[in-house]
Structure 1
């Protein structure tokens, strides 16, 4: 039996690639190769933009900044992760139905937990050492850092960094398995069919997704110690879980409901009008805070922006990128390595250019080019060619697993 493949993406999600589909009866999802490759690369762009953002203070922040990079960060942020989780849910349900819970769990644990631990213990530890000794100006030996400082950083959850996606994905897999198990025991609520058909038509259900943002914000006001920040040494972040869970559930539903797939493969007319309206409302209410109508309207409008933007992103890839491409298949395979290694590269290269007097646009391009060059080289010359590294950082025991 062939094992289901795991999407090797920045924040890996499940997908059946062209190479996988040639060995099975599964349909080919060429646009998924393109989508995960480009969305992964946008993660590198997003972190690079944070260095030069005029409104965000990141790990490395250049004193010369621009509102352009703030806008670039904001635009990428609204659709990138929601789209990833939709795809994750879709292919999780497909794999569960095709291979069953046992195989699904075995493959997911290896493909996600092994690279997660390897990156946390090696790559993120080196990044934390760099941040402590160089960025925070606290020189110390590596031995002293490992023995005295690193344990405190782990307890506070600072080891997680960009690996939050893998942790959240594992939690969503547990949700998917639970729903898969419960599906056979739940009664068939025939009286709910008209309601489901109503919200499925023209994808009106997208207007319900922002309710998760409202729930989280209300909960954060009631119990800020629980809903703000990470828990259990960084293993759990309730904000990420609640905010992105609807997108994962949408992906599960999308695979099970063929009628929904037909609706989801096109953009309804109302979405083109609702998106600019939501942007306008969010802009007008951007300074609204507290527990009031204006603040809730701001939160809901931002959720609408994310939901509609992720749908538009999905449809555009489906329509214009649904063809085989050797380049995107290669980048799709490399995307897991790029995701795992890019964060430390962006931090180091951004720091090295802080004192440079060249324009920030050239600095940004230099960070991007250097990061892609290093991460792709690591993947091509090390990950693909050394089995132990391929297992540690891609979770694959062989080149074709």
Structure 2
């Protein structure tokens, strides 16, 4: 497996990750009511946003394995993902669920809600994980990353793979077929083997979602392992592919073609559309964000805080404004804007200024003694102390765990930029 070169920059992935994370506020604001505008946003998001999010996560997970090795990568990611997950789940989600319940149903006290004294079949989004389900998937993927890197490294070095990825048409055909086949296998295996054994997701765990997005996570790993050949071909504009995929998706959802209207046809057409739009989004982002951007860096750092806190604040704000489920897009847009304002302010004025809060909500733990190659980290103690004491718009100079952060680690970089390599995802 090729190791990350010091001059590798993926700033466009940084920008895309920020957009995907922050887009969740619009998606979850749609749960406030029955509005076609916001429901359309949620539907469009479901076609590509989380799949692309996990694709980028797979890319960067493989990068971390190349830098730190399998064992250390797994330990770091389990801590940086698991601690914010547990803290948010325990400290915020019960209140968020209670507010969501009261917004869509007759009011009950918080204690009655916790004891289950609610109406039968209550309305509203009441899955106990809420927006945190993606962290469960990331924890599973963290455990799978070393095996995925090892297996796909052998695939990349095989002659069959080399022949199948010679030239862009073959690259795209191989990627599309691989993702489609693995998607059908994952979904079919879940329904044939997992559901009969455990029933529907036990304890409301996102078992199905984790399997559904695994092909895209693995595609991200593959793109990193063969990034010199595969990534440039993958992130070139493909408007014809997008147009064809869009027509097929429309035909499947509208039932214009019998085969495409089947459940398998819908899954395959959606998967093809996801790959097509991903290719074009990567192409646009690589051109618009070819290098570091201060605004992108700030949004990268803040997006994790916004995502963890936004569901809670959506329902706090809607309740304070005395809205009800009959509201429409202007009110939803107001709630969304206020949620952005409150969560960005919390990040900037509270989270960034507290090492403790950065640990429990952003998973930023001090790096401690790092291994700088075979001879350890030989950076001057003064530089290390300055790094520990510094808080910038991008966050503290501690263990980088923000969802949208990637900058290269190299001897000629200052400590601030070197530390920005460390991702949560």
Q: CA offsets, 1:111-137, max 9 Å, x none?
A: 110000000000112112323455433
Structure 1, 310-319 or 266-275: larger mean CA deviation: 266-275
User: Which residue in 1 is equivalent to 2:334?
Assistant: 366
User: Which of 277, 288, 291 is the aligned partner of 2:247?
Assistant: 277
User: Which residue in 2 is equivalent to 1:86?
Assistant: 55
User: Which residue in 2 is equivalent to 1:55?
Assistant: none
**Mapped pair 1:346 → 2:314:** yes
Q: Distance in 2 between matches of 1:147 and 1:127?
A: 15
Q: SS in structure 1 opposite 2:353?
A: coil
Q: Which structure 1 segments of 5+ residues have no match? A: 1-15, 17-23, 52-59, 151-156
**Mapped pair 1:255 → 2:255:** no
User: Which residue in 2 is equivalent to 1:179?
Assistant: 148
Structure 1 residues 357 and 296: CA distance shift in structure 2, 3 A: closer
**How far apart are residue 35 of structure 1 and its match?**
1.5
**How far apart are residue 187 of structure 1 and its match?**
11
User: Which residue in 1 is equivalent to 2:201?
Assistant: 230
Q: CA offsets, 1:179-215, max 9 Å, x none?
A: 3345688896434532344787351234322334433
User: Which residue in 2 is equivalent to 1:124?
Assistant: 93
User: Which residue in 1 is equivalent to 2:401?
Assistant: none
User: Which residue in 2 is equivalent to 1:68?
Assistant: 37
Q: Distance in 2 between matches of 1:85 and 1:96?
A: 16
- Alpha-carbon contact 1:279-1:301 (below 8 Å) kept: yes
- Alpha-carbon contact 1:90-1:251 (below 8 Å) kept: yes
**How far apart are residue 326 of structure 1 and its match?**
1.1
**How far apart are residue 384 of structure 1 and its match?**
0.7
Q: Could you state the TM-score of these two structures normalised by the residue count of structure 2?
A: 0.73
Q: CA offsets, 1:379-399, max 9 Å, x none?
A: 111111122111110111352
Q: Distance in 2 between matches of 1:216 and 1:171?
A: 15
- Alpha-carbon contact 2:183-2:212 (below 8 Å) kept: yes
Q: Map of 1:126-205 to 2, 5 A cutoff?
A: 126-132=95-101, 135-137=104-106, 139-142=108-111, 146=114, 158-181=127-150, 189-197=158-166, 201-205=170-174
Structure 1, 190-199 or 375-384: larger mean CA deviation: 190-199
- Alpha-carbon contact 1:383-1:389 (below 8 Å) kept: yes
- Alpha-carbon contact 2:252-2:260 (below 8 Å) kept: no
User: Which residue in 2 is equivalent to 1:400?
Assistant: 397
Q: Distance in 2 between matches of 1:159 and 1:256?
A: 36
**Mapped pair 1:244 → 2:213:** yes
Q: Distance in 1 between matches of 2:61 and 2:325?
A: 48
User: Which of 3, 26, 35 is the aligned partner of 2:16?
Assistant: 35
Structure 1 residues 169 and 360: CA distance shift in structure 2, 3 A: same
Q: Distance in 2 between matches of 1:382 and 1:138?
A: 31
Q: Distance in 2 between matches of 1:309 and 1:71?
A: 17
Structure 1, 104-113 or 161-170: larger mean CA deviation: 104-113
Moved over 6 A (4+): 147-150, 183-187, 356-359
- Alpha-carbon contact 1:90-1:252 (below 8 Å) kept: yes
- Provide the aligned C-alpha RMSD in A: 3.4
Structure 1, 276-285 or 249-258: larger mean CA deviation: 276-285
User: Which residue in 2 is equivalent to 1:56?
Assistant: none
**Mapped pair 1:266 → 2:266:** no
